A and B are shown apart, each in its own frame.
Chain A
């Protein structure tokens, strides 16, 4: 095994040397080579700057309790330990916060996607008076500053006596990403050929039956993207939660982390550990779904 590896390394090295010798001989090749190196160097430096804060959180989360504040820049600190993770799970209500977030987010996404899926179908397949007005309403609702609706929603929730409850949060979140979800789903339904439904209609299903049995199963990818979008929006939300929830029992993780990061520098380790635990799944989901999200973001505007 080792022998094979050294052999392979030696071969690669030889190849590199030969390539380098050739490159240095030929001026055009040389220019290309420098350009190549330069591009890689610039990108690597930028990528390092972009990723560094994340790595720093990781390194802070590994620091032992007595060395939390230090001007040390190394990624894996001396005497690295997972103690911060342990005390985060034991001494704070972090799991409870995650659980609160999860419940609120799941209920919100479920409502959002189910409302959006039918509405998008109406926009995609039917001609009816008010269609254009409805689409314009959806688009223009994106222009309302998010901060603007927090106040009336807060007052409504207070009046309904839903402060500090899951239900209040779910109500506040449930339509926030509805316009965008409708927009994504409409775009996807538009790509499904009508002949499929027409065949089903000839065979005797109703229009709603065709939607339920044919369109919905076919559009699972778009539905899951809309679900993910709803999920990440509600999962990362901070400003509404700040005003609706006030007891730390009911906090979502965003509020909890903000509090940990607060005044006491001793809690940095726990803050960092919590950030890592939350960030990794979100990163995974985002990287998986980013391709569709971006096309959804730009699709509508390019067409219009």
Chain B
């Protein structure tokens, strides 16, 4: 095997062969993905919304955890690249009968899979798969445990670049449940790699522990301090299970302190954009008038997400291990 020990996502020439995490990806690789996504954005507006780059390839969507939206955007992206897409609802199939992850992969590889798009509750599951597939097979992490959600991170970077052009003079505030969020982790790695001078992690102590400072972010336990003069505000979804886990008093209490309302948004720069990975909980982390307001770019994020996933899939499938 010629796998790069330090970064299994890159081949010996430094080219992307899997997308597992944004952590450790060189800036040039991230920028190449964003540039390529720009080309694909226009493909989605053509009369024929399809290009033949993945013609004859089989992409298996392996979702060990449910996610209709992410799975759908991967499916659309693969189909617009002319791939054949097979969706497996693993949560309800062989694994439930006791088959191991690697046995599942071995069986699907025997069906001549060319790419696996994997979402798994266990951090690191896509790495394990990438280590065991044949050299021509590629793996995309569609979210693993609390670890990473690299395509969401990349589409967030695409969105920021689209609206703000330059990363090197921005203040970006990520608000909410940072500690459990793979989106936050991927965003932080991407933002620091792209040269954003100030990244803030904003939320209560239970969800934004002080040791996040090690990732190069400024930790704020006060919402006003956290979003003041920000250029970009990324709101995270508050997962209901956190309420029962005694990490938060109540949804109402959270909204009062950290929910994004028009009044709080007024503290940010007048041209600040508001992002959210979805699905949004109106009235829990974000007020409806903000989610639907003029500064919200939540729906463009979804559109950009397809182009970014097309870019990732076409780049990795064009590179050899």
A and B: bona fide binding partners: no
